[in-house]
Amino acid sequence: MININEVIDFFDSLADKWDDMEIKNDKIINIILDNAGIGKGCKVLDVACGTGILIPYYINKDVAKVTAVDISPKMVEIARSKFGNIENVDILCSDVEECEFDTGFDNIVIYNAFPHFQDADRLIKCLSSKLVQGGKLTVAHGMSRAKIDAHHKGSAMQVSNGLMEAEDLAEIFSRYLKVTVIRSDDDMYQVVGIK
């Protein structure tokens, strides 16, 4: 069982070098965001936003609002230093499962973070309830499932459950949403559901 305090400590310890360590593929990220239905006017919840890796991509897609949440105070501090002055971006330090929001979201994205959550079903149920009708939830990684699991076998082993098969995640999604995308190949991993 993942200990939430260990997750916070782990990501706090990496925050200062996170942007240098992050491997980004613009083409894959844009495929992920397109599959997730993110575009002009959308209200987006970015779950486990880290240092704000996806925020420029959302802005380029002309979204109306980004609410970015991370449990690591140091990750949030860096994200705020980079994007905190943008009017339609809010960056919160919190456990997303404990957050109350004034409004529902058109899109909720968990990018490169899903294995670090304790309970997949509880998380998907919680996030599904934060979507507007017709809103989409996506869990995605910018590399293959095998590469993610290999990456987490090192120092991240204590704070990772491993990435479940996309079909197994889709089964959890189907309890709360209509699954529209299941992709797990050498380039990326993604499951999308619509409310």
Q: What is the mean pLDDT of residues 145-168?
A: 67
pLDDT digits (tens, 9 = 90+) for 14-68: 777 777 777 789 999 999 999 999 999 999 999 999 999 999 999 999 999 999 9
pLDDT recorded at residue 118: 81
DSSP state, 164? P
* Per-residue tokens: 12: 């706090």
**pLDDT over threshold 90, residue 162:** no
Q: What is the pTM of this model?
A: 0.90
| Helix, strand, coil distribution of the chain in percent, nearest 5 | 40, 25, 35
Summarize pLDDT for 46-57 with one digit per residue, the tens.
Answer: 999 999 999 999
Q: What is the pLDDT of residue 2?
A: 64
pLDDT digits 0-9 by tens, 96-145: 999 889 889 999 999 988 887 888 999 999 999 999 999 999 999 988 77
Pick 173 or 116 by higher pLDDT.
173
Degrees to nearest 5, angle at CA 110 with 106 and 112: 150
Residue 157 has pLDDT above 60, yes or no: no
Helices 166-173, 120-128: inter-axial angle, 10-degree rounding: 50
Handedness of CA 149, 155, 157, 159 (dihedral sign): negative
pLDDT of res. 126: 96
